[in-house]
């Protein structure tokens, strides 16, 4: 009777050893992390895209958006005409990326410096000041964007207008909080008010981007327009 008991114990012990061995392998981090051989390609890809964006900005300034071709951008970036399509689909994509980055930078900076205890008028003026500071760093890019909207059938025009809509949405968010806090009249149409504020800033920037007024003159025009609008928005 001892023999079957011993055999049974031995048989049951063996699987436990195998299971222990499997757990040991599974607990080894190296067994779970696949080896990758594309890290170098990823880094080179990011560097190539950065060169493409820089080349595009230079050519947009030199030749205008319409005059800058992807072939010329590729040449300026030091790559073949066909190679650029591995990184970007169109020059519109490059323009929108730059504009979107500016917009996100402005909103992030506003978030970091926003004082919610301030009045809605002060918060709106602060946001527009931050945005204006960002945009005035590259007047040519702002001018290209505004001119692109004069061709409503163009794909780039629709994408720039979509970015404009996002800015209107951000302004509406500030106004909505102001109405909720009873800083604004309860009858204020937040979306319409945000659209009006945005178009005040856009109108001022047309003169600035064409060199008719200075950046500071543009900022003061925006502030004056905002203050006039708020006379009808506040309680």
Burial zone of 56 (CB within 10 Å; 0-12 exposed, 13-18 middle, 19+ buried): buried
> What does the alpha-carbon distance between residue 206 and residue 139 come to, in Å, rounded to a whole number?
10
User: Would you mind telling me the total number of residues written for the chain in this entry?
Assistant: 235
In tens, the pLDDT along 129-176 reads: 999 988 887 777 777 778 777 777 777 788 888 889 989 999 999 999
**Confidence at residue 113, expressed as pLDDT on a 0 to 100 scale:** 94
**Confidence at residue 137, expressed as pLDDT on a 0 to 100 scale:** 79
In sign, the C-alpha dihedral spanning 95, 201, 102, 58 is: positive
Assigned CATH class of 91-233: mainly alpha
> Burial code of 203-218, b = ≥16 C-beta within 10 A, e = fewer?
ebbeebbeeebeeeeb
The domain limits of the chain are 2-86, 91-233
Q: Where are the beta strands (DSSP E) in 20-177?
A: none
Closest CA to 127 of 57, 201, 195: 201
> What does the alpha-carbon distance between residue 82 and residue 70 come to, in Å, rounded to a whole number?
9
Instruction: List Cβ neighbours of 167 (8 Å cut-off, separation of 6 or more).
Output: 103, 131, 198
Phi-psi region of 182 (alpha: psi -120 to 50; beta: other; left: phi over 0): left
**Confidence at residue 219, expressed as pLDDT on a 0 to 100 scale:** 93
> What does the alpha-carbon distance between residue 229 and residue 124 come to, in Å, rounded to a whole number?
11
**Confidence at residue 227, expressed as pLDDT on a 0 to 100 scale:** 93
**Confidence at residue 9, expressed as pLDDT on a 0 to 100 scale:** 42
* Cβ atoms of residues 218 and 142 within 8 Å: no
Name the pTM for this structure: 0.68
**Confidence at residue 34, expressed as pLDDT on a 0 to 100 scale:** 52
- Tens-of-pLDDT digits for all 235 residues of the chain? 444 444 444 444 444 444 444 444 444 444 454 545 555 666 666 788 888 888 888 888 888 777 888 899 999 989 888 888 888 888 878 888 888 888 888 889 999 999 999 999 999 999 999 999 888 877 777 777 787 777 777 777 888 888 899 899 999 999 999 999 999 999 999 999 999 999 999 999 888 888 899 999 999 999 999 999 999 888 6
């Amino acid at each position: 009777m001892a023999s079957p008991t011993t055999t049974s114990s031995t048989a049951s012990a063996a699987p436990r050893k195998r299971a222990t061995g499997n757990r040991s392998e599974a607990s080894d981090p190296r067994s779970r992390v696949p080896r990758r051989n594309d890290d170098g390609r990823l880094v080179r890809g990011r560097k190539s895209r950065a060169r493409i964006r820089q080349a595009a900005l230079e050519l947009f300034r030199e030749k205008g958006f319409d005059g800058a071709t992807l072939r010329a951008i590729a040449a300026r970036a030091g790559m073949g005409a066909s190679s650029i399509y591995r990184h970007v689909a169109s020059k519109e994509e490059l323009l929108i990326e730059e504009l979107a980055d500016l917009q996100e930078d402005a909103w992030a900076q506003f978030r970091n410096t926003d004082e919610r205890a301030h009045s809605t008028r002060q918060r709106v003026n602060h946001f527009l000041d931050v945005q204006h500071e960002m945009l005035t760093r590259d007047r040519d890019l702002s001018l290209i964007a505004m001119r692109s909207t004069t061709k409503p059938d163009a794909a780039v025009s629709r994408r720039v207008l979509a970015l404009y809509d996002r800015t209107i949405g951000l302004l509406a968010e500030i106004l909505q909080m102001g109405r909720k806090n009873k800083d604004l009249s309860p009858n204020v149409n937040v979306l319409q008010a945000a659209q009006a504020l945005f178009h005040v800033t856009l109108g001022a920037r047309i003169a600035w981007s064409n060199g008719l007024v200075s950046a500071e003159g543009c900022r003061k025009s925006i502030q004056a327009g905002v203050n006039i609008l708020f006379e009808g928005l506040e309680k």
